[in-house]
Chains A and B, each alone.
Chain A
């Protein structure tokens, strides 16, 4: 295991453990799950990335944790445990206590994720009023401190602003301030920087890094940016078409990926300092839900596919060193993949 910042003993129960999570559309007879059999865990203080192309189910997975899935989909199987509580079977009251309390969440588009008719101060104060029963005036004072904690200048004056009066980066800071208002143990960040300018992305990541260190915060980061993963995370869960392709400590991913999809993703990252090389792409597209292949879901696009093995469903296999893969050829030692980074 890598020794990430803030990581404690391996023996302790993980803060969050997701096991065999399957999400599907009820009524879609015989349709494979949008998310199927996803298993991973986040330890206290650890940062775990959920990575994959758009539509691979990473956002659904992150939303399922706090029971925020859209009405059309449901969790069909699996379990999600947070700090000893089974989030899928616990009482609603308990779930409400956890939402915004020990688990904070930040979403992708800050503009549409903030209530346009409520001041940002009230939106941050709301969390403390709901969870700690603070009076509005007290909670607003705290909200002011939270705003300056996330790096907003003139925080006291900004409390009365509405979201549309702020820039995207400011809005995302407000989202983060609300998410950490009750000292959470886990922050779920669903593509927190995707909708922002590149320079602002770096600032937001820097802020998240600071908060992680200061608050001993575990982070589940949903992203499709490998650079962010390398920079920020301890463990990475690579998802493809609703399946978990690979789970691994982050540095191992770059040295020796254990799933053909991971290595294809790595190869598709443009390399700085190598002029005039053509961009590598993964041929084909991610199949849409309902058209997933019966065997390995990556098989139609995989350059290492071998018909008789890969056309059969693949099992999520532990391959030692705390790593798992869903590639039968890698698991059996038949295939060894090369990383982009060599020692």
Chain B
């Protein structure tokens, strides 16, 4: 992939983030209720509310408010929480690790299970394995992650006390302990995505198998693992990577529910509490953080295309 292309993609990503910043800012202006009234509390006088409004700069023109807010954002200042009065950015950074790690592990689960099952099913079309994978994938897509989480907890934590049912432990307290706390949330979050990936991978492998270049490779004497690795997987990977990128957003949304089921205090509970309390700076910070993650992942997906598909590299 040429440097110019990386710059273009990067520029596109930044543009998206800027647009998201506008929407995030307008969020506060658009939803009903006055921030100053929320902060002041139910028994505040009109004068008190007006004072708070002036303090927050809410009495200024919208554009001016945006410019001052956005210049703060550019310097990493997302404002302070309306309740704890702590900076939003450090609150998010403190809450992020369990969420990010569970999401990444869920993605790993999804890729390992989904892509493997999809490849096997695609290569053995019509076999009982293929049919089993298709049936399980449909089931997996239909199952909500919170229900799956509860089933997994009752099976692997309550009926058989192998894994902890709730909580999160930092990896610095030991890899084994950390892993035991991550497995169940990551699996319950990742299985639906693995089902989606399995179906896609199966379809892509089946499609590539009909391509003339696979016949050519066979005519050269290629077969078995050689044929699969060199001629089928790389070509089938292109659409699968797209789906994986799209699924990231879904995982980031789903992790909120999974955190709630497993009693993990990460970004999910932070987001839910902020919404319930109308803690606007926190909500804005969370939305911006999510947008950055999604844009970054899509950028990685774009760069991965260039690596997988030589046509993109030179385009």
Contacts and interface: CB of A to CB of B under 8 A. Distances in A.
B230 interface: yes
Interface in B9-37: none
Interface of B: 210-213, 215-223, 226, 230-231, 234-235, 308-311, 314
Nearest to A128: B220
Contact of A99 (B210, B213, B221, B235): B221
A117 B234 contact: yes
B223 A66 contact: no
Contacts of A92: 223
Interface residues of A, number: 31
B221 A117 contact: no
A109 interface: yes
Given A112-B211, A113-B213, A117-B235, A100 B310 contact: no
A115 interface: yes
B220 A126 contact: yes
Contact of B213 (A63, A104, A115, A127): A115
A70 B211 CA distance: 10
Contact of A100 (B221, B234, B311): B221
Interface string A100-127: 1100110101001111111000000011
B226 A130 contact: yes
A303 interface: no
30 contacts: A68-B218, A68-B219, A70-B210, A96-B221, A98-B221, A99-B218, A100-B220, A101-B221, A109-B212, A112-B211, A112-B212, A112-B213, A113-B216, A114-B213, A115-B217, A115-B230, A116-B235, A118-B234, A126-B220, A126-B222, A126-B230, A127-B221, A130-B220, A130-B221, A130-B226, A162-B310, A162-B311, A164-B310, A164-B314, A178-B220
A113 B215 contact: yes
B38 to A, nearest CB: 56
Given A68-B215, A130-B226, A117 B309 contact: yes
A165 interface: yes
Contacts of A131: 221
A97 interface: yes
Interface string A62-103: 010010101000000000000000000000100011111100
Given A117-B308, A117-B309, A164-B311, A96 B216 contact: no
Contacts of B222: 100, 126, 130
Given A105-B216, A127-B221, 15 more contacts: A66-B219, A92-B223, A98-B221, A99-B218, A99-B221, A100-B221, A107-B212, A107-B215, A113-B213, A113-B216, A115-B230, A127-B220, A162-B311, A165-B314, A175-B216
A197 to B, nearest CB: 20
Interface of A: 63, 66, 68, 70, 92, 96-101, 104-105, 107, 109, 112-118, 126-127, 130-131, 162, 164-165, 175, 178
Nearest to A178: B220
B310 A116 contact: yes
B256 to A, nearest CB: 38
Contacts of B311: 116, 162, 164
Nearest to A118: B230
Contacts of B221: 96-101, 127, 130-131
Q: Which of B220, B226, B231, B234 has the most CB of A within 10 A?
A: B220
A200 B215 CA distance: 24
Q: Which of B210, B221, B223, B235 has the most CB of A within 10 A?
A: B221
Contacts of B216: 105, 107, 113-115, 175, 178
B310 A117 contact: yes
Contacts of A63: 215
B229 to A, nearest CB: 11
A99 B231 CA distance: 16
B230 A100 contact: no
A125 B309 CA distance: 20
B179 to A, nearest CB: 35
A113 B231 CA distance: 11
B122 to A, nearest CB: 13
Contacts of A130: 220-222, 226
Contacts of A97: 221
Contacts of B217: 115, 126
Contacts of B310: 116-117, 162, 164
Contacts of B215: 63, 68, 107, 113
B44 to A, nearest CB: 65
